[in-house]
A and B are shown apart, each in its own frame.
Chain A
C-alpha cells in the first residue's frame, strides 16, 4: 500500500489540475485580478504544513522554521482573501 500512496497523490494532483482548467476558463477577463488574488490566497493552504511544523513538541530548528512559515502563510491567506473581498465589493452593475 505504502508504495501506491505516492501514485494516489499523483492521481489526485492530475485530476485537480483538470478541474482547475475547467473552472478557470469560465472566469471572465473582468474578474482576472480578483481571480488571481483569490487563488493566491488559496495557495496559502501551505499554512497546514506550517502549523504542523510549528506545533511540534520540542522547540528546535523545525519549530522556528515552522513559526516563520506560519507568519508567511497567514499573511498570504488573510491578505489575499481580504484584498479580494475589497475588490469584489466594487464590482457593481449600473
Chain B
C-alpha cells in the first residue's frame, strides 16, 4: 500500500508540472489547470489510503465546509475583485501550513494529551521544519489577510509608516529564529512555541501594512511565493516529497513574478518591501517644480470627429479602468473603431493594476481577443507610427519624466512611450496626481488632450457619439 501511495504522489507531482507547462499558452491553459486539479484529487485520494488516517468524519466535515466555501467564493467573485481573491486564497494556504505544523508538534509530543513523563525527542531537521512552517505560514496568513483588506478597501491602501518600523521587524524576525532554535533543542517548551506562532502572525501584519496600494502586484506575488514555501516546509515536517515539489514550484512561480513586477517599476525588492516611493532615499524635495503649461481638453464630439479620421489606435488601460469597471465600454469602443477600419491594439504595462496580468483578465472578461493585448516591450516601438493613443485610468506608467528627469521619484522606471504618438488622449476624472504623488508632465505636452470624466461613462458617451456619426 505504501508503494501505491508513493507512486500516486509521483503521478500527482507530474500532473502539477504538466499543468503549469500547459499554462504557457492561452490555448492549452484551461487543460493545464484541469491537469493540476486532477493531480490534487489524486494526492487527496492517496492520503486517505494512508495507514495513519484512521477516522474519516473530521476529514469529510472539513472537506465539505472548505469546498463549499471555496466554491462560493470562486463563483461569486467579480473579475475586478481577482487580486483580493488571490490574496485571500494565499492566506488560507499559509494558515493551513501553520495549523499542520502545530498539529504535528502535538502529535510527536509523547506528553500530550497525557503527561507520560517521557522525554520528548524531536529530530533537529523536523524541529527546524516545524519552526519554519510556523514562521512562513503565519506571515503568509496574516500578511495575505492585510493585503486582502487593502485591496478590498477595508484597510487603508496608503503607505502606512510606524515608528522604528524596520528595527522592530528585524528584532521580531531574529527573535522568532532564536526562540525557534531554543525549541528545537528543548522541544518541551510549549509556551515558546505559542509565542513563535503569535509573533509570526504579528510579523505578517507589520510587513504588509506599510506596502502601498500600487505596490500590491509585488506584495501579492511575494505572498504567493511564501504560500508555496510554506507548503514545502510542511513537506519537510511530514517527510513528504510531493508537498516539497508542489511547494517549490509555487515558490519559484511567486519569486519570478515578484522579480518581473520589481523590474516593471525599476525598484529593488527591498525598496518595495520597505514601503512606498517616499523611502526611495535620494529623491530629495518632492518634485513639484514641473513646468506647468497649458492643459488642453477635448469633448466627446470633438474626440469622435478626431477618431473618425485615424487608422491606428492604441489603448492603454490602468487601474482606473478596473475601478470604473470600464472594460466592457472599452470593448465597445474597440468594436466601433474596428468597424470603421481602424487598427486597435492594447498596450499593457507590467505593473498596470493591482496584480500581475490584472488588465489582461479584465479585458478577457470583456471578450477582447488576447492577441490584441501587447506587452510593453512588444509595442513600445510602435507608438511613433500611431495616430491616437487613448490612456484610460493609467498615470505613472505613461509619465515621460521617468525617461529624462533624474529628480523624479519614478526616474528609470520603464514606461509606455505614449507621448511619441501623434495624439495622446488621456481619460481621467481630474488632474490629480498618480500613485507616486507627482504631476504628470504628459498632460502639458502639445500633443496631449485631456478627456475628462469617469472612464465608464466617458467611453460609453464616446462610443454612442461614434455610432451616431457613422
Contact = CB atoms under 8 A, between A and B. Distances in A.
Interface of A: 5-6, 9, 12-14, 16-21, 23-63, 65-94
B40 A50 contact: no
A19 B77 contact: no
B358 to A, nearest CB: 6
Contacts of B92: 44, 72-73, 75-76, 79
Given A16-B244, A66-B103, A87-B82, A93 B370 contact: yes
Given A34-B361, A46-B93, A85-B33, A76 B106 contact: no
Contacts of A66: 58, 62, 99-100, 103
A29 B247 contact: no
Interface residues of B, number: 114
B70 A75 contact: yes
A80 B70 contact: yes
B23 A90 contact: no
A45 B91 CA distance: 14
A6 B236 CA distance: 8
A20 B231 CA distance: 14
A62 B107 contact: yes
Nearest to A47: B44
Contacts of A79: 69-71, 73-74, 85, 89, 92
Interface string B249-276: 1111110110010000000000000000
Interface string B169-182: 00000000000000
Interface of B: 16-17, 19-21, 23-27, 29-30, 32-34, 36-37, 39-40, 43-44, 47-48, 50, 52-56, 58-59, 61-63, 65-67, 69-71, 73-75, 77, 79, 82, 85-86, 89-90, 92-93, 95-97, 99-100, 102-104, 106-107, 112-113, 125, 220-221, 224, 227-228, 230-232, 234-254, 256-257, 260, 348, 350, 355-358, 360-361, 364-365, 367, 369-373, 375
B73 A72 contact: no
A30 to B, nearest CB: 4
A29 B59 CA distance: 38
B113 A29 contact: no
Contact of A90 (B16, B34, B243, B365): B365
Contacts of A36: 86, 220-221, 224, 253-254, 257, 355-357
A71 B228 CA distance: 18
Contacts of A13: 232, 235-236, 244-245, 248
A45 B65 contact: no
B125 A6 contact: yes
A87 B29 CA distance: 10
Most buried by A among B48, B97, B242: B97
A52 B375 CA distance: 44
B51 to A, nearest CB: 10
A69 B70 contact: no
Given A33-B82, A94-B371, A39 B228 contact: yes
B363 to A, nearest CB: 9
A8 B245 CA distance: 12
A25 B370 CA distance: 19
A36 B411 CA distance: 29
B232 to A, nearest CB: 6
B27 to A, nearest CB: 8
18 contacts: A13-B232, A16-B252, A17-B251, A21-B256, A24-B20, A36-B220, A37-B82, A43-B93, A47-B40, A47-B43, A48-B47, A55-B54, A70-B58, A72-B99, A76-B70, A76-B96, A91-B364, A92-B367
